[in-house]
Amino acid sequence: MSDVYLYGMISPSTVFVLRKDFRFPAANAYAEIAETHPSVGGEAANSAIVLARLGLKTKLDGNWVNKRNADKVTGLLSRYAIDLSRVSVKDNGGTEEIVITDSDSRTVFGNYAAFHDGPKQWNDPSEEDIRETRIACIDPYFHDESRRAAELCVECGKPYVTLDSPYADPLAQNAAAVVVSHELRDTAYRGADMRAVFDQYLTRCAGLVIFTFGSDCLWFARRGESPKTYTPYKIDPVDTTGAGDSFRGAIAYGLLQGWDDERTVDFASAVAALVCMTIPHALNAPGLEEVTAFIKAKR
């Protein structure tokens, strides 16, 4: 039995850090690479690392991993005692990315468009694993299978947390919490009044709704409540890749602890801040004592 079943993206990655006196280059320009880091990204993988570092038993499931990247993925994730028995290794397919980061930005190159537009390259969600978990984290990217994972959670009476799912989707509507970032808002709701969009989420969704805005104030509330704001911790970030995934994972942690929404959001913000102060992705995510000390020091 696991504490958290995570169904979603698992992406072998390589992070290139530019020298501090360079920025991401314009076309036909040049930038100097200072560091190179092998890594594993993907929303589910990052959340799994965070939750494992916080002391929970996690089980990872989702997209297939290409055989050429299998050792990299299992090797990097093995240190966290994440259950990888559901990770499927295939001769073809899978995702892969490179990330180029400077002190102000991160730029991702990958094969995600081909992955999502092509044939299915992911497992079906496991009813058995959902029945035997305490909470799930579900990524929205696997179409009917993502919705099926949510349906299984509802049928089994298990809460789940998702991210970047539109308010019209049952995946968002039945979640214990849904975290919405600019990546969805800039595509699904471009040009819309964001307060009106937030109100739509509150009307249609049964759980906690959170809109994140990077380092700016986030919004959170539940149906029937007035929106609340929260200012994230001020830090000097090293790498923001995986910040949102870490935040989502920490929201699931807070829900499992039975905390109120304010404490849960504060804790998740602290976890995301600490992840942003390390590199790469969430591989150096904090343990519970480190998060507690950070919150105490900042207060």
pLDDT tens-digit map of 248-265: 999 999 999 999 999 999
User: What are the φ/ψ torsions at residue 58 (nearest 5 degrees)?
Assistant: -120, 145
List, for residues 183-219, the tens digit of each pLDDT value.
Answer: 999 999 999 999 999 999 999 999 999 999 999 999 9
User: How many Cα atoms are found within 13 Å in the side-chain-facing hemisphere of 228?
Assistant: 15
List, for residues 147-162, the tens digit of each pLDDT value.
Answer: 999 999 999 999 999 9
The pTM for the full model equals: 0.95
Give 82's pLDDT tier (boundaries 50, 70, 90): very high
Q: What is the pLDDT of residue 191?
A: 95
Give 72's pLDDT tier (boundaries 50, 70, 90): very high
Give domain 2-25+33-298's CATH architecture: 3-Layer(aba) Sandwich (3.40)
Give 103's pLDDT tier (boundaries 50, 70, 90): confident
Residue 66, Cα to own-chain centre: how many angstroms?
Answer: 21
Average pLDDT rounded to a whole number, residues 57-76? 97
